[in-house]
Amino acid sequence: MAQIREQLAQAPRPLPANLERFRLAKYKPIPDKEPQVTEHVRAMFQNLIDGTAHSTDYTAELWKIESPQLGEAQKGLKPFGPLGAVTLVDRGEESGKRTYRYRIEFEKATILQSFVFDKQNKLTASYTEDIR
């Protein structure tokens, strides 16, 4: 109880990202100055859906982790329906790696997905931030 009273006296703090209710809604489209990256992301995602992912799109380390799970990822995406729009909503760079956040729309769902590429344009990380 004492901790609750203490927290009530503090200034309000933002929710941690994992507790945000409408995370997807806060990201709006931004100008896409690298449409070739967006097309590459779209192709990679479609390859994942089709079960034809290419090891050359990934760093060796990430491919080693992801390749055994491709079938599960494909099954997980199937209920969403066909792939629709892929829209850039955030872009950044840190330590020589480029980060992109996209709204990926399907017939029955929308995903907020982040991608991190190295200098050789290979995917080093990717994670889903929200699904609606």
Q: How large is the C-alpha radius of gyration of the chain?
A: 18
Residue linked to tokens 């995406």: 77
Is 2.70.70 the CATH classification of the domain at 34-131?
no
Residue linked to tokens 């055994």: 68
Rounded Cα gap, residues 12 and 5, in angstroms: 13
Q: What is the average pLDDT score of the chain?
A: 87
pLDDT at 14 over 90: no
Q: Where in the chain are the domains?
A: 34-131
113 CB burial (10 A radius; 0-12, 13-18, 19+): buried
Q: pTM of the entire structure?
A: 0.79
